Chain A
Amino acid sequence: MDKLLFGDNQFFGINHMSEEKARAQAMRFQKTDAIMDVLDTAYDAGIRTFMCTTHDRIAEIVTRVKADPARYGDFTFYPCMPYAHKYANAVTDHGMVGALRNFMPEDGFLATALAGGKALATREVDGIAKVLIDMEMKMFAGARAPVVFMQNVFADLLLGMGFTRAFRIFHDHVVEKYGAQPAYITMNMPMLLDALEKEGIERPIICSNINKLGFRMSGGFDAYLDALKSGRVRAVAMSVYASGAIPADEAIHWISELPGVESIVFGASSAGNIHSTKALVDKYMGVCA
C-alpha cells in the first residue's frame, strides 16, 4: 500500500462538520469532470491510489482511467463496499427478501431459494454474499484494484451483531476470485481486530480513525495504541486531522511515529490541501509512491 491514499467523501456531499459545506461540494462535483480534475491534481502530485465507495458515479471514473492507460498507468483503485444507499432504497421498495431476490441472477438457484420463503442453507447465504460482492466489483473490471474494503457501517453492523462469519466469506471471496487483499473499515478497530482474528484472519488491513485527539476512536484511545503496537494490524489511518481540529503538521508528525500505521487516507478538494498533505507525508513518513 502507498503511504498516502486519496478518499472520496468530498465528492459525494459527505462532510461531518457542516451540511452547507456538504451541499456546496455536491454542487461543485456534480459533473464528473470536476471530480476528474481533482483526481488529476492528486495523481500528478504522486498520489496514485483512490480509495472509493462503489457509488454509481465511480464507474464513470473507472471508465475514464481505463480509456487512457498512457496517462493513468499507475492509477489504482481501492474499492469500498457496499454502497449502502443502493441497498437501503431497494429494501424500502421491495422488502429485505425482495431486494435480495432482485439482485440475484434470474432463474439461478439463489433466486429460487429466496423465492421459496424457506430457510436458507449456509451454502446459500454464502452464495448470496458472493453475488453481492461480484455486483459491486463489476465496475472495476479491467482496472487495478489490489485491495478491497468492506465499508464501516456494514462491517460495524455485522461486528455488533456477532455475524463475524461474513468477514470470513468476504475475505475468502476477495482473495480467491479477485486475487486482491481484503480489508475492513471500522469505527471500532480494537473490537473488529479481535473478531477478525477469531475468524482466523491474521494481520488484517483495517482502516479506522486514528488521531491525536482520540476523535471517534470507539473502544478507547489506549486500546487503539495497544493494537497498533502489538503488530497484529496493518492500519490505514483516516480522520487524522480530526475534522480539522488538529493542525496538519502536528497531526501527520504524530501519526508518522506510530507503529503499525502503513497508510493515511485523506480527502481534499483543493490543490493547496493536496500538495500540503503530500509534502507532510513525504517529510515525516518518507517519500511515497
Chain B
Amino acid sequence: MTQEKLKLAVVGLGKMGLSHFAMVNAHPEVQAVACDGSGFMVDVLSKNVGTPVYRDFDEMMDREAPKAVVIATPSRLHAPMVRRALEAGAHVFCEKPFCLDWQDSDALTALAAEKGLVAQVGYHYRYVGAFLEMKRLIEAGAIGRITHVLAEAYGPVVLRAKRQTWRTQKSEGGGCLYDYAAHPLNLLNWFFGAPAQVTGSVLDSVFSEGIDDEVFSTLRWNDGPTAQLSVNWSDESHRKMSTKISLIGTNGRLFADRQECQLYLRSPVEGLEDYEPGWTVKYTTELTDDRWFYLRGEEYSAQLDEFIAAVRAGERTSRENGFGSAAETDRTMAMIIENARTGQPVGAPPVMSKPEKTARKRWFGR
C-alpha cells in the first residue's frame, strides 16, 4: 500500500506560485521542489525552507526529474515550459491563461494526450461549490432553455498609472482579458462550449498604457444563449476579484458567484427535489468539503488535490480543466482580440436547430 511520495516541482514563485508551493509542500503525499528566476526569492527560501529551490528550470528538470510540475510563471513562458515538461514525461498543472497563442494550446493538448499525461490548467472557479452547483443545475435543465447570460468580473488590480510588471504588458500575457476575463469566459465554455460568434468586443485601457483594463464582448452559441461579458479590473469598490454569472431561461433565473448559488424556478423540475418553485439559495460553505490544507479558499486546494490524485492513480487524462478545455478559452479570447481589433464579427452567426415538434395544444383546437 505504501506508495512513494510524488515528486512535484513548482515553477514560478509569484502570487499564484507561492500559494501553490505552500499547498503542495503541505500535501502528505508530495515531495515538493521549487524553482524561480528571482535570485532574491531563491535565496531567502533556500535558507529557510527544507525544500530544494532552484533558479534554473532546465537544471531543476535534469537534476530532480520531477514526476509532475506546476507551472506558475508569467503567461508567455507557459508554452515553452509546458512543452519541456511534457517531453520529459512529467504530468503538468499550468496556471491560467494556458497559452497566449491558441495554436500552442492545441499542440500541447495533442502532445499531452499522445504521451498519456495528466494535463490540467488552473481555472479554479470550476472547483467553487456555487459554480459546480450552477453547472449541475444547467445540466439538469433547471431553468429550461437558457437565452440570456451576463458574465462579469470586477476587482481592484490597476487603480492608477503604475510601474510596469509582466501583468501590465500585452506581450507577456498581461491585461484584464487574460488575467480577469479568462475566468468568466472559461465558465461560459464549461457551460456552453465554444461560441459560434463574437461581436461587439471592446478592450479599453483606463489607467494602463498599452493594455486593457476593461473588457466588453457579446458571445453567441449555436443552439445556445447570447452572453454579454463585462469585466473591469480597475474597480476599487470590490475588495478582491469577484466573478459572477447570471442566466435567464424559460423556466427561471440562475445566479452564482464565489459565495452562493441562487435559483429562481418557475415550475418544479424532476430530479431537483431540493429546489422548489421560487427562490432557493445554496452557499459555497455548505457545498464544499475540506481538503488536506486550506490557504485562500477550498477551490485552490481542491484543484491541486485532484491533479495529484489523478497522477498518483496512474490516470492518463485530467479529471477537470484539461488542456483541451483551456485551449477552448484561449481560442475564445483570441476571437475577442480579433473582433476588438477589426470591428468585424468573428465566427459565423449562430445556428438554431428547429425545436423538436411536440403536440401543441391549439387555442381553439378543441
| A interface list, Cβ under 8 A from B | 12-19, 22, 85, 91-97, 117, 119-120, 122, 125, 153, 156-163, 165-166, 187-188, 191, 214-220, 242-243, 245
Shortest C-beta distance, B111 to chain A (Å), equals 31
- B43 on the A face (CB < 8 A): yes
Contact check, B38 vs A162: say whether CB atoms are below 8 A apart. Answer: no
Q: Give the size range of B's interface with the partner.
A: 35 or more
**Which of chain B's residues 244-301 have a Cβ closer than 8 Å to chain A?**
244, 257-260, 283, 285-286, 290-296, 298, 301
Known contacts A13-B239, A153-B295, A157-B295; A162/B51 CB under 8 A = yes
Contact check, A161 vs B40: say whether CB atoms are below 8 A apart. Answer: no
Contact check, A162 vs B25: say whether CB atoms are below 8 A apart. Answer: yes
- B358 on the A face (CB < 8 A): no
- B357 on the A face (CB < 8 A): no
Known contacts A160-B23, A214-B290; A125/B259 CB under 8 A = no
Contact check, B259 vs A19: say whether CB atoms are below 8 A apart. Answer: yes
Q: How far is the CA of A214 from the CA of B291 in the complex (A)?
A: 12
- B313 on the A face (CB < 8 A): no
Contact check, B19 vs A215: say whether CB atoms are below 8 A apart. Answer: no
| B interface list, Cβ under 8 A from A | 15, 18-19, 21-23, 25-26, 38-41, 43-45, 47-51, 157, 162-163, 165, 167, 239, 242, 244, 257-260, 283, 285-286, 290-296, 298, 301
Q: How far is the CA of A160 from the CA of B73 in the complex (A)?
A: 20
Contact check, B48 vs A163: say whether CB atoms are below 8 A apart. Answer: yes
Q: How far is the CA of A96 from the CA of B293 in the complex (A)?
A: 25
Q: How far is the CA of A35 from the CA of B345 in the complex (A)?
A: 52
Question: Which of chain A's residues has its CB closest to B298's CB?
Answer: A216
What 5 additional pairs, Cβ within 8 angstroms, besides A17-B260, A161-B51?
A: A19-B258, A95-B163, A153-B295, A162-B50, A219-B292
Question: Which of chain B's residues has its CB closest to A162's CB?
Answer: B49
Which of A93, A119, A219, A220 is in CB contact (< 8 Å) with B43? A119
Contact check, A217 vs B259: say whether CB atoms are below 8 A apart. Answer: no
Residue in A117, A161, A162 whose Cβ sees the most chain B Cβ within 10 Å: A161
Q: How far is the CA of A50 from the CA of B89 in the complex (A)?
A: 54
Contact check, B259 vs A161: say whether CB atoms are below 8 A apart. Answer: no
Contact check, A125 vs B22: say whether CB atoms are below 8 A apart. Answer: no
Question: Which of chain B's residues has its CB closest to A98's CB?
Answer: B163
Shortest C-beta distance, B36 to chain A (Å), equals 11
Contacts of A217 in B (CB 8 A): 290
**22 A-B residue pairings within 8 Å (CB atoms):** A12-B239, A16-B259, A17-B283, A18-B260, A19-B259, A85-B239, A92-B162, A93-B163, A122-B47, A156-B293, A160-B21, A161-B22, A161-B49, A162-B51, A165-B48, A187-B295, A188-B26, A188-B293, A216-B290, A216-B298, A218-B293, A245-B285
Q: How far is the CA of A19 from the CA of B246 in the complex (A)?
A: 14
Contact check, A218 vs B163: say whether CB atoms are below 8 A apart. Answer: no
Q: From DSSP, what is the main secondary structure of chain B's interface residues?
A: mixed
Question: Which of chain B's residues has its CB closest to A186's CB?
Answer: B294
Contacts of B47 in A (CB 8 A): 122, 125
Contact check, A160 vs B242: say whether CB atoms are below 8 A apart. Answer: no
Contacts of A96 in B (CB 8 A): 38, 40-41
Contacts of B239 in A (CB 8 A): 12-14, 22, 85
Q: How far is the CA of A32 from the CA of B49 in the complex (A)?
A: 42
Contact check, B293 vs A242: say whether CB atoms are below 8 A apart. Answer: no
Question: Which of chain B's residues has its CB closest to A128's CB?
Answer: B44
Contact check, B295 vs A18: say whether CB atoms are below 8 A apart. Answer: no
Q: How far is the CA of A102 from the CA of B270 in the complex (A)?
A: 60
Known contacts A13-B239, A161-B21, A188-B293; A215/B285 CB under 8 A = yes
Contact check, B291 vs A218: say whether CB atoms are below 8 A apart. Answer: yes
Which of B19, B40, B49, B294 is in CB contact (< 8 Å) with A218? B294
Q: How far is the CA of A15 from the CA of B257 in the complex (A)?
A: 13
Known contacts A153-B295, A187-B295, A243-B283; A161/B290 CB under 8 A = no
Contacts of A85 in B (CB 8 A): 239
Q: How far is the CA of A85 from the CA of B236 in the complex (A)?
A: 12
Which of B22, B157, B295 is in CB contact (< 8 Å) with A92? B157
Shortest C-beta distance, A139 to chain B (Å), equals 20
